[in-house]
Structure formats: structure tokens, C-alpha cells
Amino acid sequence: MDQSFDLVDETDTAALGRALAGLLAPGSVLMLSGPIGSGKSHLARALIRARLGEAVEVPSPTFTLVQTYPGEPEIWHADLYRLTHPDEVLELGLEEAFSTAICLVEWPDRLGKATPPGAHHLTFTACGEGRRLTLSPGIEGLPQAFRDMQAEDFLTRHGLENAPREALGGDASARRYTRLPGLLLMDAPKDQPDRTEDFTRIAKHLRDIGLSAPQVPAEDHSRGFLLVEDLGPNLYPQAIATDPSLERPLYEAAVDVLRHLQSHPAPQGLPNLTAADWAEAAALVLDPKTSPQARADFTGTLAETLALADGPRVLILRDYHAENLLWLPRQGLARVGLLDFQLAQMGQPGYDLISLTQDARRDVAPELEAHLITRFDPSPDFAAACAALGAQRALRILGIFARLAKQGRPRYLSLIPRVQRHLARNLAHPALAPLKSLCDKLL
């Protein structure tokens, strides 16, 4: 399968060369194609130095045609621009080198039929302000190796190349975190919906209204890296495990943060999904073989059910639950540290409350949940709104967890029974009878 890499500048080209260096073996042949100045020689130079040392002189082979470098194996760097006939390849000794050395060949079209089978073709093309490199066929492990090199370059630019590091456990997203002294490195690949620009923007908004979101001392949005303030390890589950008497006040503080958050105008330009959009997101739970009519009945009924919860839209943080909240040594609402809010959008007032009280990862006692709902909104009709939002959220999570398990992440299977219990309890509300009837048939 082909692989593509977006190279913002020469730093990325060199990073890709270093990543390739650790994955090549005797007989590896790289055919480097692209216009003059596209980065072929820059990538080759970085690759050679990564294998042999940064002090190695790597002249261009434009005039010598071939430069060889001793090692295990040898490295051959060829520039065939001045060749006039493929037979001249024999005189250079490249045919034998193709099977025993690592060979980097610029202007490989000059090889004609002498192109070795199994060679990797690297093609540079313009892409915005930078370049895109397409590799055919791809090399196993290269995307992650390249990403690791980009991260190293980002840390080096900020003087952290030698800082001690601790890799942190991931979640359902493609983001990765590494703990550094006082900081976290956020690695958020650009092909994902979780954008570093959104994290920075929402973090600033939260801090501006007096809440505890991390500071962001360094950012590279073009590649998807941030250095963010490390608010510490005292997540809600750990704090409660250490002192169970803290559970009620911690959750009350989290509810008060939501009320404070929703009392302020949201940033402009955030996504604002319709009830139909929310219903469609929950359709992940349906069997792929579900008929189009049954799917339409499901999403239509769920959209009508969500009308129970709708009203003036407010800023919601989307993943507002215990594992994204910290208990900090600060005062007032600032005691609650906030994480994982980059997908924030406009939504229903009760959405984050239900995310908190119907947590897929930990149990919240029914009496505590009832207390928190009343603390947030004591009106008698709010219970129906909570049931509607809880049903939508549980349906969507069940679909996501099932797919993650099928993709080789079975740890999510252990969370499904709790979410099923949330769903059953929400569907038991009389106002959700039509949705319950459909779920009984389709799920």
C-alpha cells in the first residue's frame, strides 16, 4: 500500500530521512523523483547522516554520478541526471549494489529496464507551501517513525531534547501524550478531527472566564504538536480513591463549573449540530445490515426525542467526565482542572451534565446523580431532558466502543455493560416510550 507524507519544510524532509534510515536493510532501493529543488538530496543527506553520523560529509553526486559510503551495509547515493542511456548503469556498478547495499537513486527514470524489482518509489510534489512525498510501496513502521522524528524536532526547537519523558496512556482518539517536567507534549495528528488550534482557542476561553484549563506555552499547528501546562496527576478517580469523602464535593464543584461555563457567551463560530445530526451520530449503534427504512425510523424518532432536551444552545465540552477532571490546590471553581475539550461545540445545556453523571468509565451512585441533576436544574421537566440526552449519548458510545473493540482494542468491551445499564434506565422514562420500542426491535 502506498504511503503519503506532508512535509511542511526542509525540517520535515530531514525528519523523514532519519525515519527511513532506521528501517532500511541490505537490498533496500529508494527511487527519488521530483523536480530540481524538491528535496531529494536533502532527504538522502539526512538518511545517510542518520546511519553514519552527523559529521559525515555528504556531497551531491551530480558530477560524480555515484557516491559510496562504507558501512554495514554500504550506502550508494546516485544522481543519474546526466546519464544518456540505461546501459551506463552497468558501468557504475549499480546493478550489483541493488542487491547488497542501501541505494538512493535520484532521477531513476534514467534506469529504464534496469530498475530493480521491489524498489521503493519516492515522489515529491508541491503541496501548498510545502511538499508531499508519496512512497510506493510503503514501508511498515515508517508513519510512526516519521511522527516520532517530528516530535523530536519540536522538542529540540524548545530546548527539551534531553528532558526526561514519560509516555501516558491513550484514549479512544489518535492523540498521544508525553509527560515532561511541568509540561505535556500533545501529539495530535493533522488527519484527525481533534485539532490543536481548537484546543488552544477553547483553553484560552476557559482561562478567560476564570476556569482552570492548561496554559499553552508552545504550539506547532501545522504539524499538530502542542506543549501544554501539566496540571498534575490528581484526576478525579485518583482523588476520590485516596479520600472517598471527597466524591460529593468534587462532583458538586464540577456541576458548578458547568453552570459558570454556560453563564458566559461561547466563542464565535463553533459547530452547532441539529437534532437530526445528533441522532445520526447515535446510529453507529445499528447493525450495518439494518434496512434504510429502519435506520430512518431510528434517527427520526431519536431526533424527535431530543426535542425534549433542546433549547438555547450553550458551549459544551463534549467529554466532560471524571477522567478529564482534576482536583487542584487552587481556590473556588479554579480547583477543577479541565482536560480534553478540543471538540467543544454548541449543544444542549444538559449534555455535559449527563456526560459527568452517566460516566462510561465509573459508577456514579443514583442518589448522587439525582442530587447533581437537581443542583444543575431543579425544574421538574429537566428529568425528561436528561433521559433523552442520556439515551443519545449511550447509543453513540455503544456504537463507538463496539467498533473500537473490532479494531483490536478489546478493553472497551468491559465498559459496554455499564453503558447498557445507562441506556436501559434512560429508555425507561415514559417520555422515551417510542424510542424504547424501536431500540427493543433494532438492537
For the chain, the domains span: 3-141, 167-229, 236-442
CATH topology of domain 3-141: Rossmann fold (3.40.50)
Side chain identity at residue 30, one-letter code: L
Confidence check: pLDDT of 395 > 70: yes
Q: Using an 8 Å Cβ cutoff, are 133 and 15 in contact?
A: no
CATH numeric code, 236-442:
3.90.1200.10
Report, as an integer, the average pLDDT of 203-222: 98
135 has which bridge partners? Answer: 3, 122
CA 370 to chain centre: 34
Report, as an integer, the average pLDDT of 264-272: 96
Confidence check: pLDDT of 227 > 90: yes
| Least confident range of 4-18, 57-71, 169-183 | 169-183
Report, as an integer, the average pLDDT of 254-267: 98
Q: Using an 8 Å Cβ cutoff, are 48 and 75 in contact?
A: yes
Phi and psi at residue 284, to the nearest 5°: -55, -25
Q: Which CATH class is domain 167-229?
A: alpha beta
Q: Using an 8 Å Cβ cutoff, are 347 and 313 in contact?
A: yes
| Least confident range of 134-143, 362-371, 391-400, 404-413 | 404-413
Q: Cell 516519521 sits at which residue?
A: 146
Assign 170 a pLDDT band (cuts: 50, 70, 90).
Answer: low
Assign 319 a pLDDT band (cuts: 50, 70, 90).
Answer: very high
